[in-house]
Structure 1
Amino acid sequence: MISGQLAGLRARLPEDVPVLHAELHDDVVTRSAADSRPWSPRPPAGGHSPYEPGPPSADAAVFSVVELATGELAGEALLWGIDTHNRCAHLGISLRPGLRGRGLGREVVGLLCRYGFTVRGLARLQVETLAGNTAMIGAATAAGFVREGVLRRSAWVYGRFEDEVVLGLLADEWADAL
Structure 2
Amino acid sequence: MLRGSKVGLRARHEEDIPVLRTELFDDVVTSARSEGAPWRPIPPGSKDRRLVVDDTVPTHVPFSVVELDGGALVGTATLWGIDTHHRSAHIGLGMLPSCRGKGYGTDVVAVLCHYGFVVRGLHRLQIETLADNAGMLRSAERNGFVREGVLRSAVWVMGEFVDQVVLGLLDRDWKPDGNHPRPERPGTGR
TM-score norm. by structure 2 comes to 0.91
Aligned: 1:47 with 2:47 = yes
In structure 1, stretches of 5+ residues that fail to align are: none
What corresponds to 1:79 in structure 2?
A: 79
Query: Contact 2:89/2:125 (CA < 8 Å) preserved in 1?
Result: yes
> Contact (CA 8 Å) 1:17, 1:49: kept in 2 or not?
no
Percent identity, aligned pairs only, is: 52
Check 1:131–1:14 CA distance in 2 against 1; reply closer, same or farther (3 A cut).
Answer: same
- Distance in 2 (CA, whole Å) between partners of 1:19 and 1:131 is 27
Q: Does 1:152 align with 2:161?
A: no
By how many angstroms is 1:57 displaced? Answer: 2.2
> TM-score when scaled to structure 1?
0.97
Shift in alpha-carbon separation, 1:105–1:112, aligned structure 2, 3 A: same
Tell me which residue corresponds to 2:60. 60
8 A contact 2:62–2:79 mirrored in 1: yes
Q: C-alpha separation between the residues in 2 aligned to 1:68 and 1:44?
A: 28
Q: Does 1:171 align with 2:174?
A: no
The one-character-per-residue Cα deviations of 1:25-61 (angstroms, maximum 9, x if unpaired) are: 0000111000112211121324246212222421011
- SS of 2:12's equivalent in the other structure is coil
Equivalent-residue separation in structure 2 for 1:9 and 1:2 (angstroms): 5
**Partner in structure 2 of residue 95 of structure 1:** 95
CA deviation digits over 1:64-97, x for unaligned, max 9?
A: 0001112100100001000000000000110001
Please say if residues 21 and 42 of structure 2, whose CA atoms lie closer than 8 Å, have aligned partners that are also in contact.
no
Q: Which runs of 5+ in 2 are unaligned?
A: 179-190
Q: 1:10 to 1:55 in 2, by over 3 A?
A: same
Q: How many residues align?
A: 178
Q: Distance in 2 between matches of 1:118 and 1:48?
A: 29
1:25 partner letter:
F
Of residues 53-62 and 13-22 in structure 1, the stretch that sits farther from structure 2 once superposed is 53-62
Counterparts of 1:167 and 1:146 in 2: how far apart (Å)?
5
Measured in 1, the distance between the counterparts of 2:90 and 2:48 equals 24
In structure 1, C-alpha distance between the alignment counterparts of 2:88 and 2:135, rounded to whole Å: 23
Structure 1 residues 150 and 46 mapped into 2: Cα distance closer, same or farther (>3 Å)?
closer
What is the CA–CA distance in structure 2 between the aligned matches of 1:50 and 1:69, rounded to whole Å? 25
CA distance in 2 between counterparts of 1:27 and 1:153 reads 23
Cross-structure match for 2:131: 131
| CA shift for structure 1 position 63 | 0.3
Change (3 A) 1:141 1:53: same
1:129-172, Cα deviation, whole Å (9 max, x unpaired): 00000000000000000000000000000111000000000000
SS at match of 2:15: helix
For residues 168 and 43 of structure 1, the distance between their equivalents in structure 2, rounded to whole angstroms, comes to 35
Identify the range of structure 1 (31-40 vs 167-176) with the bigger mean alpha-carbon deviation: 31-40
